[in-house]
Amino acid sequence: DAGVIQSPRHEVTEMGQEVTLRCKPISGHDYLFWYRQTMMRGLELLIYFNNNVPIDDSGMPEDRFSAKMPNASFSTLKIQPSEPRDSAVYFCASSLVNRAYEQYFGPGTRLTVT
């Protein structure tokens, strides 16, 4: 299996620009999670989906952040407009519905907003 795939691996953008991060979960997995990792806050869950439906978005920091999952094999996390404090590593993870405690992480996207 290819594992969870994220793109891009690195993204550098200027403040105010729109940023889109992409994730392809492991085939057959029903849950998809988006996490953010910063020095200040550590690893925190932003949102997760079950069968393409958002279940818990309480971790999304503000309205500038949005996430979609149009089909079982693709999800996006969008930041519009981006700000320097959004600089972080963003991880996507997926799991089976009956093993949601066992999440497989992608390699992450390092986002730098200047």
Q: How far is CA 59 from the centre of its chain?
A: 11
In degrees and rounded to multiples of 5, residue 110 shows phi and psi of -90, 115
Q: How many residues bind other proteins (CB under 8 A)?
A: 24
Site membership for other proteins, residue 5 (CB under 8 A): no
H/E stretch holding 35 reads: strand 31-38
Distance CA 58, CA 85 (A): 19
Report the sign of the C-alpha dihedral through residues 2, 103, 7, 38, in that order. Answer: negative
Binding residues for other proteins restricted to 55-94, rule: CB under 8 A: 55-56, 59, 89, 91, 93
Stretch that binds other proteins, among 21-29, 63-71, 78-86, 106-114 (CB under 8 A): 106-114
Shortest Å, Cβ 70 to other proteins: 22
* Residues of the shown chain interacting with other proteins in the complex, contacts defined by CB under 8 A: 31, 33, 35, 42-45, 48, 55-56, 59, 89, 91, 93, 95, 100-105, 107-108, 110
